[in-house]
Amino acid sequence: MENIQLVTWSGIVGALVGVIIVMLIIFPMLKRKGIKVEDLLSQTKKVVDSSGDILNVVKTLMPNNNVVNILQIVEKWAEIAVGDAEQLYHAGEIDKCDREAVAKSVVLNVLKELNIDVDDSKKQLIDAAIKNAVNELGHSNSAAIEGPK
């Protein structure tokens, strides 16, 4: 792996870990202190919504960067996979709790077909892309984070 790819992956994984810490530790602490986190979440949603635009700019600046190409593939197929899983659920072909596994399976199969090795970092990115795609469908943020009940 080239140095630029290693730095890119490290930055992405670091940001992902930071987001998880904020969502699981810091936000609950702020809520207990009476601070409204809804405004922070709406700002975060704006950033997440613009992630596709950011990837396009980065791809323009670094057209042959394999990491950016993989990120775009994961982002695109996560959206498709979530839509597919949702349709299968509404058709009664899978249970509610199976939707995430079906979506992950679709993305993993696409990466396998493209001969892209999937390590733990890519699995975390796939999970994040799937959660983002679920939120794009209009599901509440808390339901996407908490998972099925």
Q: What is the pLDDT along the chain (149 residues), one digit of tens a residue?
A: 566 666 777 777 777 777 677 767 776 777 788 777 666 566 656 655 555 555 555 556 555 656 667 888 888 889 889 988 988 888 888 998 999 999 999 999 998 888 888 888 888 889 988 988 888 777 544 444 444 44
Contact partners, residue 12, CB within 8 Å, separation at least 6: 67, 71, 121, 125
Question: What does the angle CA 100 – CA 52 – CA 11 come to, to the nearest 5 degrees?
Answer: 80
d(CA 78, CA 3): 27
Residue ranges of the domains in the chain?
Answer: 3-146
